[in-house]
Amino acid sequence: MDIHSATRSVQRVVTGMPTSDGAGVKLTRVIGQELLPDLDPFLLLDEFGTDKPEDYIAGFPDHPHRGFETVTYMLEGRMRHRDNHGNEGVLVPGSVQWMTAGRGLVHSEMPEQQQGRMRGFQLWLNLPAREKMTAPRYQEFGPERIPSATPAAGVTVKVIAGRVGDVAGPIQQPATDPTYLDLSIRPGAQFVQSLPPDYAGFLYVFEGAARVGTEPGAKAVQAHELAVLGEGDEIRITGVSAGADGGTARAILVAGRPLREAVARYGPFVMNTREELQQAFADFQSGRF
Ligand code: MN
């Protein structure tokens, strides 16, 4: 083994907490809960997945955000978003919305369906102090604009952000330089991805199972488990035959540059100091978002 390279191991495995948010949408909070309050620069990860309309139909009526980015990645179902600056659109299966809330906006996220399955993720990504009050911005891409890579036999990767070989994702975010990959790995197939050694990273398996690391030290990660990655300049993920169907492992691999700044957060406001949080409340209440 090259002494200059280190494969990332699994530091710990975390299971999400069932909760509800918005007007009563049932979801699983994986980052942003007691077991994993944050993973700098990541503030929150919610997985939502249900085919019961009563679990999602109330949606997320008008609410504010300031100081960070929300990343919504839809696997199934349709969600309409609308903000107080005149932006509106429908997120369809396979689409991503990377919303930089910056100095603030008020928006709603409501199901655009009365029945059927709703499934996906919302990730909150912090902004550095110098960009918390930037103008709100959307990077929104339909499924046809998210490129796929096949870096090895039995491995398919949708590249939302970052790079897999020659395939680059459409998202631009220099501050945290994120990688966001949607992985499909057949049992026995292996995906190797280089990552900057000091970046925070996690793998969240949402179907099947995978092993992370190099044998004999590799660790199994089951569906609906998040693996916090240790440091290293690459990650090795091997698909494992799991369940009755022995199916393909599906997971998101997310990494980014830690900000290492103070975090003052309360609900939908994430700033650096208490004073900035109080200002966020005051600005929201007086309609300055
Ligand atoms: Mn929101």
Q: Please report the DSSP string for 58-105 in residue order.
A: T-EEEEEEBSEEEEEEEEES-EEEEETTS-EEEE-TT-EEEEE-TT-E
CA–centroid distance, residue 85 to ligand 1 (Å): 14
For ligand 1, the distance from its centroid to the CA atom of residue 72, given in whole angstroms, is 9
What does each C-alpha distance from 33 to 259, 265, 288 come to in angstroms? 20, 13, 30
Going from the Cα of 62 to the center of ligand 1, the distance in angstroms, rounded, reads: 8
- The answer on pLDDT for 178 being more than 80 is yes
Percent of the chain with pLDDT over 90: 95
pLDDT tops 50 at residue 42: yes
Note the pLDDT tens digit of each residue in 45-97: 999 999 999 999 999 999 999 999 999 999 999 999 999 999 999 999 999 99
pLDDT digits (tens, 9 = 90+) for 14-30: 999 999 999 999 999 99
**124 Cα: distance to centroid of ligand 1 (angstroms):** 10
- Residue 245 pLDDT class (50, 70, 90 cuts): low
Predicted TM-score (pTM) of the model is: 0.96
Centroid of ligand 1 to alpha carbon of 264 (angstroms): 18
- State which residues form the domain around 168: 3-285
Quote the pLDDT of residue 152: 98
Residues 101/284, Cβ–Cβ less than 8 Å: no
The Å distance, Cα 22 to ligand 1 centre, comes to 9
Distance 245 CA to ligand 1 centre (A): 36
CATH of the domain at 194: 2.60.120.10
Domain count for the chain, please give it: 1
Q: Which residues pair with 182 in a beta bridge?
A: 158, 252
How far is ligand 1, taken at its centre, from the CA of residue 47, in Å? 14
Q: Give the distance (Å) from ligand 1 centre to CA of residue 168.
A: 27
Contact yes or no for 59/25 (Cβ under 8 A): yes
Give 235 Cα–ligand 1 centroid separation in angstroms: 31
Give the distance, in angstroms, between the CA of residue 62 and the centroid of all CA atoms in the same chain: 22
pLDDT-based confidence at 252, cuts 50/70/90? very high
Ligand 1: distance of its center to the CA of 64 in Å? 7
